[in-house]
């Protein structure tokens, strides 16, 4: 509720930055998918862009050739992301460590090349254009200033957050935490570790597909950059900044990264990466659990100082 209240306030405080704020909301959905896969299930990945791009292209093609309804497009994007994650996950989840990470990157690279070669369908390097969406729920048309797109993205992000909250607190989510901590122990008590990991990866793919579909519908353009390795890497950095294994950490980390990125790049287009790098190093060294753990760390530090004074 606090995050939703801040998002509503941001609409009125920054009315001329709605495109940027909408981008933050879309990235929050993508980082939430990474958090489910990595933070809860313990599946290291640098290829979440594979599902994100699949959802974007699927939603874009669906709008152009079949039906331009936004909600239906979200469903198509989610299905596309889930299918890609499920098919690849059947192989990927049989590996671990560096091999798994490299294979996730390879899947995204393969899909990138397929989209590039299928120029007649995807537009190739020129991107998929001509996406003209119908009004949301048949009433709210996408406007030039981005108001409808912002509220639409906010509603989707809130629903995804709520759904993942329920999922991670359910027995399935708790079993994912157990698998993350000790796959051997979970296997010993009879938990189907392999299939739970495949399922988590597929659900994470569906969420990433929703993020991609949002991008296609709101920007009305899909480019090959949706499969870029940089997108997966940035999503992972955002999650690390906020804190893995906590959905609120994904929201905090994404917002902080994108705001700092926006401000730093605007002030120094050539050296803004220095600011991002310094911020990541500071969090990794002083708050290994992410910014979500800052209140706890501060409370311990304050308590330790009081105890020292008493001594």
DSSP state string for the chain: -HHHHHHHHHHHH-TT-HHHHHHHHHHHHHHHHHIIIIIIT----S-THHHHHHHHHHHHHHHHHT---HHHHHHHHHHHHHHHHHHHHHHHTT--HHHHHHHHHHHHHHHHHHHHH-HHHH-GGG-B----PPPBTTTBPPPTTSHHHHHHHHHHHHHHHHHHHHHHHSHHHHHHHHHHH-HHHHHHTT--HHHHHHHHHHHHHHHHHHHHHHHHHHHS-B-GGGG-HHHHHHHHHHHHHH-TT-HHHHHHHHHHHHHHHHHHHHH-TTTHHHHHHHHHHHHHHH-TT-GGGHHHHHHHHHHHHHHHHH-
Q: Is residue 282 part of a domain?
A: no
Q: For residue range 99-113, what is the model confidence (pLDDT) as tens digits?
A: 999 999 999 999 999
Domain that holds residue 115: 2-228
Contact (CB, 8 A) for 82 and 48: no
pLDDT class of 23 with cuts at 50, 70, 90: very high
- Identify whether 69 is part of a domain: yes
- pLDDT interval class at 143 (50, 70, 90): confident
Mean pLDDT of all residues in 25-50: 96
Query: Does 293 map to a domain?
Result: no
Give me the number of domains the chain comprises: 1
249 within some domain: no
Q: Please say if the pLDDT value at position 307 is more than 70.
A: no
List, for residues 147-205, the tens digit of each pLDDT value.
999 999 999 999 999 999 999 999 999 999 999 999 999 999 999 999 999 999 999 99
Predicted pLDDT of residue 302: 75
pLDDT tens digits, 242-285: 999 999 999 999 999 999 999 988 888 888 888 888 998 998 88
Is 105 domain-assigned?
yes
Q: Is residue 88 part of a domain?
A: yes
Residue 112 counted as domain residue: yes
Packing angle between helix 49-65 and helix 97-117, nearest 10 degrees?
A: 30
- Look at residue 302 and tell me if it is in a domain: no
């Amino acid at each position: 509720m606090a995050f939703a209240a801040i998002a509503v306030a941001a609409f009125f405080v920054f009315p001329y930055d709605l495109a940027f704020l909408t981008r933050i909301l879309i990235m929050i959905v993508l980082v939430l998918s990474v958090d489910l896969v990595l933070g809860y299930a313990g599946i290291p990945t640098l290829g979440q862009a594979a599902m994100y791009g699949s959802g974007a292209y699927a939603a874009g093609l669906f709008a152009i050739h079949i039906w331009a309804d936004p909600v239906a497009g979200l469903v198509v994007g989610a299905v596309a992301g889930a299918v890609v994650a499920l098919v690849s996950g059947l192989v990927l989840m049989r590996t671990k460590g560096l091999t798994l990470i490299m294979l996730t990157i390879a899947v995204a690279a393969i899909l990138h090349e397929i989209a590039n070669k299928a120029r007649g369908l995807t537009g190739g390097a020129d991107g998929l254009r001509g996406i003209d969406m119908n009004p949301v729920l048949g009433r709210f048309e996408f406007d030039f200033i981005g108001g409808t797109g912002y509220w639409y993205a906010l509603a989707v992000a809130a629903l995804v957050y709520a759904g993942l909250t329920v999922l991670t607190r359910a027995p399935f989510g708790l079993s994912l935490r157990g698998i993350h901590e000790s796959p051997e122990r979970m296997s010993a008590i009879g938990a189907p570790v392999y299939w739970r990991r495949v399922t988590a990866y597929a659900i994470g793919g569906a969420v990433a597909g929703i993020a991609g579909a949002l991008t296609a519908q709101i920007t009305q353009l899909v480019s090959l950059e949706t499969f870029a390795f940089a997108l997966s890497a940035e999503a992972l950095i955002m999650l690390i900044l906020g804190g893995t294994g906590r959905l609120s950490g994904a929201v905090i980390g994404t917002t902080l990264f994108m705001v700092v990125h926006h401000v730093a790049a605007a002030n120094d287009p050539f050296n803004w990466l220095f600011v991002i790098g310094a911020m990541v190093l500071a969090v990794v060294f002083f708050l290994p659990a992410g910014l979500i753990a800052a209140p706890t760390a501060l409370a311990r530090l304050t308590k330790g100082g009081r105890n020292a004074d008493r001594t």
